[in-house]
């Protein structure tokens, strides 16, 4: 089966774990690199996707910076589409691998408390995880800079905003998110003192329950959202998440390849 990784935004984890997952399932993989593609000669996005359709691609794994682009091409092409990251709106395969990592650790998701701290407003990982965790019966506590937190009225029932120092002793999972400067238009968040106020550091790690785990979808900005020495703390599952990304994406692909 011919499959294409079509990323219009940068990626390391998602792109290469999908590539590895496809290869392990015996698929042919076309890796599209937008910077060296014919987009630079003026070809449209639509014609680029039509080209992959004409080449016989059956599954297209797409990432795009526009929140709605992936939904907007639904049913327009013969290939099936996997969402590999839609703007600041959705990152479903990351959420599934996060859920798998948590389930592997605790044997359940229901009644766990997950703290998510950082640039929630611009994070597609946060949006997908808030939706999935709430649906599966986990409690979600959000913290971070006030300008980057969603409005409380937009949150589901089991999700609330709080301070990081209140969330950490109460949580089973402490998930940190990168500050997405590339998505900030109206203001620029200063990073001086960010770790002290909103990040994990040696002082704050002591607030965690010894059985809780530390997660981050990556890429990590060491010493910003997590102090460098804590990225590989015994409670950290950050690299486990990456490993689980391959298995999770194999499962997603297998399910799609088997379905009509």
Residues near ligand CP, by CB under 6 A = 11-15, 85, 94, 217-219
Q: Shortest Cβ distance from residue 97 to ligand CP (Å)?
A: 9
Q: How far apart are CA 17 and CA 155, in angstroms?
A: 31
In this structure, what are the phi and psi dihedrals at residue 114, rounded to the nearest 5 degrees?
-115, 120
Phi-psi region of 178 (alpha: psi -120 to 50; beta: other; left: phi over 0): beta
In this structure, what are the phi and psi dihedrals at residue 16, rounded to the nearest 5 degrees?
-80, -25
DSSP state of 152: G
| Closest to ligand CP by CB, 92 or 217 | 217
Q: Shortest Cβ distance from residue 85 to ligand CP (Å)?
A: 6
Q: Between helices 13-24 and 92-106, what is the axis angle to 10°?
A: 80
Ranges of H-type helices in the chain: 13-24, 45-54, 69-72, 92-106, 124-135, 164-170, 194-198, 202-205, 238-258
Q: Shortest Cβ distance from residue 169 to ligand CP (Å)?
A: 27
DSSP state of 114: E
| Closest to ligand CP by CB, 145 or 217 | 217
| Closest to ligand CP by CB, 139 or 249 | 249
| Closest to ligand CP by CB, 115 or 129 | 129
Q: Shortest Cβ distance from residue 30 to ligand CP (Å)?
A: 18
Q: How far apart are CA 31 and CA 14, in angstroms?
A: 12
| Closest to ligand CP by CB, 139 or 250 | 250
| Closest to ligand CP by CB, 98 or 158 | 98
In the chain, what is the greatest distance between 2 CA atoms, to the nearest angstrom? 57
Q: Pairing state of beta strands 2-7 and 113-117?
A: unpaired
Q: Shortest Cβ distance from residue 75 to ligand CP (Å)?
A: 25
Q: Shortest Cβ distance from residue 160 to ligand CP (Å)?
A: 25
Q: How far apart are CA 160 and CA 106, in angstroms?
A: 22
């Amino acid at each position: 089966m011919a499959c294409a990784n079509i990323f219009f935004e940068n990626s390391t984890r998602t792109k290469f774990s999908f590539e590895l997952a496809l290869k392990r399932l015996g698929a042919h993989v076309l890796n599209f690199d937008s910077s060296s593609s014919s987009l630079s000669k003026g070809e449209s996005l639509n014609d680029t996707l039509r080209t992959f359709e004409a080449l016989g691609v059956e599954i297209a794994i797409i990432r795009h910076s526009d929140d709605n682009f992936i939904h907007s091409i639904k049913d327009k092409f013969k290939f099936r589409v996997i969402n590999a990251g839609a703007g600041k709106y959705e990152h479903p395969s990351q959420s599934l691998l996060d859920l798998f990592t948590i389930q592997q650790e605790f044997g359940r998701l229901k009644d766990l408390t997950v703290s998510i701290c950082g640039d929630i407003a611009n994070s597609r990982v946060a949006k997908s995880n808030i939706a999935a965790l709430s649906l599966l019966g986990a409690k979600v506590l959000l913290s971070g800079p006030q300008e980057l937190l969603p409005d409380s009225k937009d949150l589901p029932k089991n999700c609330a905003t709080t301070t990081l120092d209140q969330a950490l002793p109460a949580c089973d999972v402490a998930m940190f998110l990168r500050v997405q400067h590339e998505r900030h238009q109206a203001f620029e968040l200063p990073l001086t003192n960010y770790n002290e106020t909103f990040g994990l550091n040696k002082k704050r790690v002591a607030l965690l329950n010894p059985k809780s785990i530390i997660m981050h979808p990556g890429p990590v900005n060491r010493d910003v959202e997590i102090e460098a020495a804590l990225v590989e703390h015994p409670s950290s599952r950050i690299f486990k998440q990456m490993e689980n990304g391959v298995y999770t994406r194999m499962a997603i692909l297998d399910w799609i390849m088997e379905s009509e």
